[in-house]
Amino acid sequence: MTTALFTASGISQRYAGRAVLDDIGFVLRPGEMLALLGPSGAGKTTLFRCLAGLQAPDAGRARLDGTDVLALRGRERRRIGLVFQQFNLVGRLSALDNVLAGRLGHVPAWRGMLRMFSREDVALAQHCLDRVGLADHAAQRADTLSGGQQQRVAIARALAQQPDLIIADEPVASLDPGSGTGVLELLKAICHADRVAVICSLHQPDYARRYADRVLGLRAGRIVVDVPAADLAHAQLQALYDDAIMETTQ
């Protein structure tokens, strides 16, 4: 069995005395795509912030190759790429410049500020845009791209970091179904071809079944489902969402 790339153990977080995350633990291997399902308020974004090292949980640890994510500095930080629901691009910059931003951890700060990237960095950024199918849009301002294209630029930016792990928080929630499945197909292809691990929160169980290798179900801050995607049962989904109306894509 392949060694673990990423390990979360005992992650707990309380806000105002209320447990928002309660003893979260799981292991992720290189090239594994994990879907995180759970209703709004389940704690998905809080968990992702802890996994990415953006916030220190009250208890527990997330480790990438044995290193606490909170201790990742500089270049090491690039090993985790982030993708957000709202893309988080700089609208007035070109697609290529947004992707180059993924290289910023790689160059000394003064060079980054002058935007003097090396020829290799520019070539890598162009290659990443090519991989997400946007080679022809490199010079286009990000805010003139469609939502699906913007999310592809965000994925190219994450790719340009040459990450070991991509954490995507509801990456298709702002997209129409066609663009959404395109983005998930892309994440799955990157995951399997580059052996990058992907953790992706979704609202559609059907997407989780179709694209993920494994599904974690989060409810009220606890993991209540942890199964291979192919084994995800209707009863487990009901337990996760109760009587809430599930979004389906069929």
Ligand X SMILES: Nc1ncnc2c1ncn2[C@@H]1O[C@H](COP(=O)(O)OP(=O)(O)O)[C@@H](O)[C@H]1O
Residues that bind ligand X (CB under 6 A): 15, 20, 38, 40-46
Give least dist CB 210 to Mg ion, A.
21
Q: Which residues lie across from 82 on neighbouring strands?
A: 167
**Is residue 67 close enough to count as binding Mg ion by CB under 5 A?**
no
Nearer to ligand X, 48 or 211 (CB): 48
DSSP 115-182: T---HHHHHHHHHHHHHTT-GGGTTSBGGGS-HHHHHHHHHHHHHHT--SEEEESSTTTTS-HHHHHH
100 binds, among ligand X, Mg ion, none (CB under 5 to 8 A by kind): none
Element (H, E) at 211: helix 205-211
20 binds, among Mg ion, ligand X, none (CB under 5 to 8 A by kind): ligand X
Q: How many Cα neighbours within 13 Å face the side chain of 203? A: 18
Among positions 40-59, residues that touch Mg ion (CB under 5 A) are: 44-45
Give least dist CB 43 to ligand X, A.
4
Give least dist CB 44 to Mg ion, A.
5
In 3-state terms, what secondary structure has residue 80? strand
Nearer to Mg ion, 44 or 152 (CB): 44
Give least dist CB 171 to Mg ion, A.
12
Residue listed under structure tokens 């109306």: 245
Residue nearest to Mg ion (CB): 45
Nearer to ligand X, 15 or 226 (CB): 15
9 binds, among ligand X, Mg ion, none (CB under 5 to 8 A by kind): none
Distance CA 198, CA 213 (A): 10
In degrees, to the nearest 5, what angle opens at C-alpha 122 toward C-alphas 90 and 165? 70
Distance CA 117, CA 40 (A): 40
Give least dist CB 105 to ligand X, A.
26
Give least dist CB 8 to ligand X, A.
15
41 binds, among ligand X, Mg ion, none (CB under 5 to 8 A by kind): ligand X
What is the binding site for Mg ion (CB under 5 A)?
44-45
